[in-house]
Amino acid sequence: MRLKPFLLDAWLDSYEHGIEFDLAASTGPIWTANQLLDLEGEQARERYLNHKVVYGRPAGADSLREAIAGMQGVSVDCVQVVTGASEALTVLMWLAAETGANVILPLPGFATFSALPESLGVETRFYRLRRENNFHIDLEEIKGLADSRTKLILVNSPHHPTGATMSDSEIEALHEFASQRGIQFVIDEVYHPIYHGRESQSAVRLPHATVINDLSKAFPLAGTRTGWMIERDARRREQYWTARAYFSVCNNTAGEILAEVAIRNHAVVLKKTQDTASRNLQQLDRFMAAHRDVLGWIRPQGGMTGFPWLVSGEDTRSFCQAATERGILFAPGDCFDVPSHFRFGFAAAGDNFGRALDRLEEFVKSWSAKMVTA
């Protein structure tokens, strides 16, 4: 068994700590533990400081599961807490790993989607989000990949890194297709509900969907390492619980308390992300229009990342490398198996985004001048 190199995290780990303008990050504006606890005042702070640092429950703390169930409008039984959406993916791919099985995944996509099944010997089949098709997810392409050995179909909406979204009717159609064939329909909603156009509902309303969510993206609180799965199928839930108990036992107790506070105050936390993402995207609209001779893009419909490209058509790694020397971090597209694009995160820089774009403007001008003289 071999895990392929995690190119994205290796790149981020080399540059993210200490870079002046992080336009690679896929998250939103930063919160401190103090600011989160302020949402509920002294009582929350006391609870946080005095909680017992012991093992928690494998399904997640009762009060955290209740908060998640309340926010998602499902019964508490359906909620399995995990250590980030990463653990949800580990559990699902582990359980899908039967001899001869295949899984259907997006390309580009978050690297973990494919690295896990590949390492477990599960066949990976990819549907493409193509620039020529505005990164639209083509249901017919997904359906054409499925056969009697398909264990799961995974979609991610809003999609990372392109920012493409699926409509309610597309999600319903795919859910229907998968459930009729006994294929698990998994939807990764870690960027829901951040939208920049048509909004979609959460798939938690669909009876056979397995929904993955977390506190790392729309809730930009990755340090809590909290994610969850919504699952109505009791047999599957039992498997998740068992996998969870083996893989990590339970969440970090401090993270669970912060997660609970954030989820109870989801309107405030999500509004801050949406406002920041919307404001920064408007600035980015103007920037991309002004530099369309160098940079091409498809405006993200949701989430906090876009997937632009160099109009010259070249691969972006040296562009991204040169940008780091000017204090700007992007993520090269080869981290997503699409080397001619790069990931541009527009919400994590928060109010610093305008300054980041000023610096980027200088860099883009010098890059294109160099290209002309080369």
Contact footprint for ligand PLP (CB under 6 A): 26, 84-86, 110, 156, 160, 188, 190, 214, 216, 222, 227
Instruction: Supply the minimum distance, in Å, between the C-beta of residue 161 and ligand PLP.
Output: 8
Q: Which is nearer to ligand PLP, 136 or 149 (CB)?
A: 136
Closest by Cα among 349, 348, 330 to 339: 330
Strand 342-345 relative to strand 331-332, pairing: antiparallel
Q: How many residues does the chain have?
A: 374
Q: Which is nearer to ligand PLP, 56 or 303 (CB)?
A: 303
Instruction: Supply the minimum distance, in Å, between the C-beta of residue 189 and ligand PLP.
Output: 9
Sequence-distant (≥ 6) Cβ neighbours of residue 236 within 8 angstroms: 95, 184, 210
Integer Cα distance of 175 and 177 in angstroms: 6
Instruction: Supply the minimum distance, in Å, between the C-beta of residue 290 and ligand PLP.
Output: 29
Q: Is the peptide bond before 108 cis (omega within 30 degrees of 0)?
A: yes
Alpha helix positions (H), 204-329? 234-247, 253-264, 266-290, 317-325
Q: Which is nearer to ligand PLP, 196 or 291 (CB)?
A: 196
Closest by Cα among 193, 236, 230, 189 to 210: 230
Instruction: Supply the minimum distance, in Å, between the C-beta of residue 86 and ligand PLP.
Output: 3
Instruction: Supply the minimum distance, in Å, between the C-beta of residue 246 and ligand PLP.
Output: 18
Query: Nearest to ligand PLP by Cβ — which residue?
Result: 84
Backbone φ, ψ for residue 46 (5° rounding): -60, -45
Q: Which is nearer to ligand PLP, 348 or 357 (CB)?
A: 348
Q: Which is nearer to ligand PLP, 79 or 310 (CB)?
A: 79
